[in-house]
Structure 1
Amino acid sequence: MNADNVESYLRDNYDRRILLTYRTVKKFYLRTELVRLDIRFLKSCRAKDIIPKFLWFKTANRNLASSSAYKDSQRRLLNVEINYKYQHLNRLKKMYRYSASLLQQYCFGDLFERIQQIITTICCPIIKEKEETVERKLFGHSLCTQQRYYVERKVVKNLSARILLDDEIDCLANGLDYGLVSRRFDEMGAVGNIEQFSHHVPDIFQHHKKLMADLKDKDKVILNDIRVLNTMQMTLTSNLRSLTDTFQHQANRYRKQHYMVRGEQQQYYQLLKSLKQDKSIIVTRPDKGRGIVLVNKSDYLSKMNAILDDSTKFRCLFGDPTIQRERSLSNLLYRLKKNGHISQEFYNMTRPTGSNPERLYGLPKIHKENMPLRPVRSSIGTYNYGLAKVLKQMLSSIIQNEVIVKDTFAFVNELRSLPKSASKYKMVSFDITSLYTNIPVNETIDIILKHLYNDERPPPTIKKNDMKKLLEFVTEKSHFIFNGKIYDQVDGVSMGSPLAPLLAEIFLQEFEKKHLPLFDLMGIGYWKRYVDDNFVLLHPRVCPDYVCDQLSKCHASIKFTVAKEDVEANSITFLDALAQRQTGVGFKTKVYRKDTFPVHRAIKIYSTYLALHDEFDFIRELALKNGYPNVFVESVIQRKLNSIYAPRPTTPPTPDTDIIVLRIQYYGKPSQIYGKRVMAAVAKQYPLKKVQVVYDVKARIGQHFTTEDKIQTELKSSVVYEATCPLCNEKYVGKTCCHFQTRINEHLSDQKKAMSPTTNPSTTISNQHQSSNITIASKNSKATAQSSNQRTSLHKPSNLKSNIKKTNQLIKCKQSSKEGSYDKFTNK
């Protein structure tokens, strides 16, 4: 008899009373031990002044949740619960002792002792699992109630005239990416995400197109806004809707509890509101790192205007050319597609719709004197953004340069592979000053055209003149807005464009190819470059300043600065590495530590295990200061070491699966449960679909501050708009992916065409000065780029509201049996 066959053994060899009594003894023994663990958990909570989740209750007045009376009530309820558990435990003990004595009467010999051992063996795993659950709960509660983690105030650089309070510094020290508990649940965002997801999983759109084609062949018509779903699709959508409703309820409860319990969240919102209302300061991030910088707005504008006043690089425009340039590019792309010079896919990816001008902002270089600004342009959503991305893929084959290093890891491997004789050379770093803004655009375009059409390789299907026009669209005709003014960059490339790094690389490749013979004459024995940083080994007798001057004379647009190695340590920093040379021995590498430093970089950069051990100790200390548990930090280090030194064996290939992305608003555990349930629902209906969950934090500290210009209402795209007729009060709700002004002009044109020729012009003119109300619902800013990337839009005006009154309008109201019947509204 053992734990596996105890019941069958007792049934076959003994009286049935023994089997029934055995089951009763086992039941009460297990319940007794589990209640003991419950009491242990509750008493631990009472000792640490922790309130379990089941004692959190709602009140009519939400402010009572932070009162002392609410806390005292929870403590009293906790004591009552502990007393009840003790009473319940005593009852279970009596029942267990009674059933055990009864079983002992029925058993003979050592049967009773054997049965007790088997009961203990069977119940032991369940009790151990309960113990782990209790420990996990206590650990989780202790994390939620422990003191706020240490924040490093030095990451906040206050260069403004405002004197920050200690609470404001502590709030900002969390970083611009720090997530706050949202004060409201984004219902439209959640529904839009799951609606888009439900369309992508079963490919509803593709199935609908096929169905519509079949019905058309059979002379049957179904309205375009109706989707016909099969049984599997209906089941999936029904499950997703139910799961989303449950998630919304749980997320709201989580949000209310954490917003009220975590007092610093309410304080953070008040502090951020105060900082946002101060129009004399700019809150932004530094050029390098993840800190926070506060500067006077007047100083910020003066430094940015000093950059824009350079007439050789920038030109101020009198109007916004966005719509005109978008139309010109669209016409060129249409002609190229019509002539067969580009494919339909090329056309779809590059054709602009509803574009916005680039927006310029500056990032402070806090590590340099006088804190200059690095100009950065946000190019997402511009008319040439899609074209720049496609041209980047198309022109990437031009890059063939042996002096380029891919990253820090490649540089470290290159340095370690050098012969020992190379260690006698001096290490020097040459940096190119303002590389992107000094790239000669016309010269770079000529270099590209030479590679594409003069080399031995087959030329592209696009003609040379048309290719030049496309390149000009993404370089010379890239306008941007700053402080309400529109500018063109007449020379150089913008930092922020997808094509900018490639153009810089092509120009520097040609520069190095042309002047490579001069490097030997200058005493350069080794040259490696990462973007604008160059690592060089010079002959010991050569002066680095002399070489820097000679390099700066090679091209009028390129100027170099030099950083020499430390004379005592024979070391120099390059990228994330600290290179040290020992004459006749070779090179060693260590970490050049920045504010943030991942584990895998330490493993790959350090050349000695002792130094690696010291770096791990530093990472542990840094993580502890930032509130990370030691267990989590050790697991990350161990997992990364195992992936490098003990990789897993390769597994056989699995059938191809489609990856569908699901975006979920992050509200702690409810979001994680929701993601797992959605994945399970999809796996049940569509096993070859793989769901990749991405959690979004809707409220961050950085969202309260912006340095970019706002887009005018007329130039907004991907909007849902509502128009009300002032005569009959009928409403028209529409959505558009093009510019709002363009859509309004289209309405106006249609109205003029539909207007009766006998319409009195004076009546039309008088109607043009009547007031009207427009409500615009803007979609998520992340989804306003191109029509090919549009997310599901809901016909519910919200979020962004703009009342445009006393504007020119043209309204036509149909006269029918119902007074004031409304056709369409247009606004100009």
Structure 2
Amino acid sequence: MGSPLSPILADIVMDDLETHCLSLLGFAVPVYYRYVDDIFAIVPRANVDEINLIFNSYHPRLKFTHEIESDSCINFLNTNVIRSNGKILTNWYRKAMCSDRYINFYSSHPFKYKLNTIFNLVDHAILLSDDQFHGKNIDVVKQILLNNCFPTHIVNRYICKRLNFLKHRSSSILGDGEIDTDKPSYIALPFVEGLSDNVGRLLKNMGLTVVYNIPKKLNSLIKRGKDSLPISNRTEVVYKINCKNCSASYIGQTKRHLSTRVKEHCNNIKMHESNLSVISKHKLKFDHDFDWSAPDILHNEKHVRKREIAEMFFIKKFDNTINSQKDTENLNNIYDKLIKVV
């Protein structure tokens, strides 16, 4: 889940699954449609259990459930499929728990976004349904928009405009049968109410299509609910440990919990002389101790190589560090003067 490959892999598995399982059925399936893992099929009612059993036998970790039509109707994705007088009809389907909450007309968003809300709802109401349901569906669209504070004149005007577009959408094909392939040039601008629309009109006259982005999003206004981690539990950091008795300090980096790394520094003094760290040597030579309980976090970085560069940067930036020379050998001395003034 979450990987860009997930839809592709899911489709490969489902393609193999349906090819294998449909070949095992003792009858032909006259109608079979699939969208990712949602399947719509018309099969004899007596064979429903058989097809469910065969599909579930493909792999022990895959379990399919099925739903049978009720009153000659069944829901599939955003449509309600209706069996009527030997024909299949469809109607726009909305779940019972649908909140009908869309962008509010008075929100600080480009007018294009609000128009797209109208057009999107009209497209669902018309393109997913048979002609006999269009009138009722448009009434539902109007009510949804009014509940989201869209003015009546805006609703009526742009619903009519979209209906007219859908009615004549085939006219977008040129007279000679060729499709106009000229692609407009786009430019992205941050949306500032009262300013961006005027700038957009000027750019439109220059042949540019403006796409707006919203710089102030909800997550920048609402604080995160998680409590901040204690310093000792932080990971992927560059840290500094200070000597209690002089101005010396040690700078390091770790991907583990900082408390784990500090404990290793503290216990290093118990090791053989040949394996002593620079911290332990400083303690023995001057009879000093380090402030193990209050290390300073200088930088956070998940990427290992970037974290190592940050470690070398801070070693050179601070005076009186006791790190060995090899800790900074991969950072060229040409940067030394620049580091000191940053």
- TM-score with structure 1 setting the length: 0.26
The 1:634–1:694 alpha-carbon spacing in structure 2 relative to 1, beyond 3 Å, is: same
Quick one: distance in 2 between partners of 1:722 and 1:554? Answer: 53
**Correspondent of 1:695 among 193, 200, 214:** 214
Contact 1:724/1:825 (<8 A) preserved = no
Question: What's the counterpart of residue 713 of structure 1?
Answer: 234
1:549 is matched by which residue type in structure 2? L
Q: Distance in 2 between matches of 1:623 and 1:644?
A: 19
Aligned pairs for 1:366-765 (under 5 A) are 495-519=1-25, 521-522=26-27, 524-539=29-44, 542-566=46-70, 569-584=71-86, 586-594=87-95, 595=98, 596=100, 598-608=121-131, 610-647=132-169, 653=182, 657=185, 659=187, 661-663=188-190, 671-673=192-194, 675=196, 692-699=211-218, 703=222, 713-715=234-236, 728=247, 760=282, 762-763=284-285
Q: Compare the two structures and name the one with the higher helix fraction.
A: 1
Q: Secondary structure at the match of 2:66?
A: strand
The amino acid across from 1:561 in the alignment is T
Residues 47-71 of structure 1 deviation map (CA, whole Å, 9 limit, x = unaligned): xxxxxxxxxxxxxxxxxxxxxxxxx
In structure 2, relative to structure 1, the CA distance for the partners of 1:544 and 1:821 (3 Å cut) is closer
| Alpha carbons of structure 1 residues 573 and 765: separation in structure 2 relative to 1, 3 Å | farther
The equivalent of 1:190 in structure 2 is none
- 1:173 match: none
User: 5+ residue gaps in structure 1?
Assistant: 1-494, 665-670, 749-754, 788-810, 815-819
CA displacement, residues 559-618 of structure 1 (integer Å, 9 cap, x when unaligned): 22221111xx3111111101111243x21111111324822111211111x411111111
State the Cα deviation string for residues 120-175 of structure 1 (Å, max 9, x = none): xxxxxxxxxxxxxxxxxxxxxxxxxxxxxxxxxxxxxxxxxxxxxxxxxxxxxxxx
Task: Count residues in correspondence.
Answer: 266
Structure 2 vs 1, CA of residues 694 and 770 (structure 1 numbering), >3 Å: closer, same or farther? Answer: same
The structure-2 alpha-carbon separation of the partners of 1:769 and 1:625, relative to structure 1 and needing over 3 Å to count, comes to same
- Provide the residue aligned with 1:434 in structure 2: none
- Letter of the structure 2 residue corresponding to residue 715 of structure 1: E
In the TM superposition, residue 634 of structure 1 has moved relative to its aligned partner by 2.8
SS, match of residue 600 in structure 1: helix
1:701 to 1:536, Cα distance in 2 relative to 1, 3 A: farther
Per-residue CA deviation, residues 681-739 of structure 1 (Å, 9 max, x unaligned), is 9x7xxx898764311334459955769998963137xxxx8969675599x9xxx9x96
Asked if 2 retains the 8 angstrom alpha-carbon contact of 1:528 and 1:535, the reply is: yes
Counterpart residue type for residue 556 of structure 1: P
Instruction: State the percentage of identical aligned residues.
Output: 20
The aligned amino acid for 2:14 is: L
What's the TM-score, normalizing by structure 2? 0.57
Distance in 2 (CA, whole Å) between partners of 1:591 and 1:786 is 51
Q: Report if the CA contact (8 A) 2:247-2:320 is conserved.
A: yes
- The structure, 1 or 2, with the larger RCO (C-alpha pairs under 8 Å, 6+ apart) is 1
SS in structure 1 of the partner of residue 284 of structure 2: helix
CA RMSD of aligned residues (A): 5.4
Counterpart Cα distance in 2 of 1:705 and 1:552: 42
Shift of 1:510: 1.2
Letter in 1 for 2:121: P
* Higher Rg: 1
Aligned residue type for 2:92:
V
- The one-letter amino acid paired with 1:693 is Y
Contact 1:577 1:591 in 2 (8 A): yes
**2:126/2:134 contact within 8 Å kept:** yes
Contact kept in structure 2, 1:523 and 1:539, CA below 8 Å: no
**Aligned AA (1:672):** E
State the SS of the aligned residue for 1:562. Answer: coil
Contact 1:725-1:822 at 8 Å conserved across structures? no
In structure 2, C-alpha distance between the alignment counterparts of 1:633 and 1:777, rounded to whole Å: 52
Cα offset for 1:544? 1.8
Structure 1 residues 762 and 728, CA gap change in structure 2 (3 angstroms): closer
Q: Which amino acid aligns with 2:134?
A: L
Shift of 1:527: 1.7
Runs of 5+ unmatched residues, structure 2: 101-119, 175-179, 266-276, 306-313, 325-342
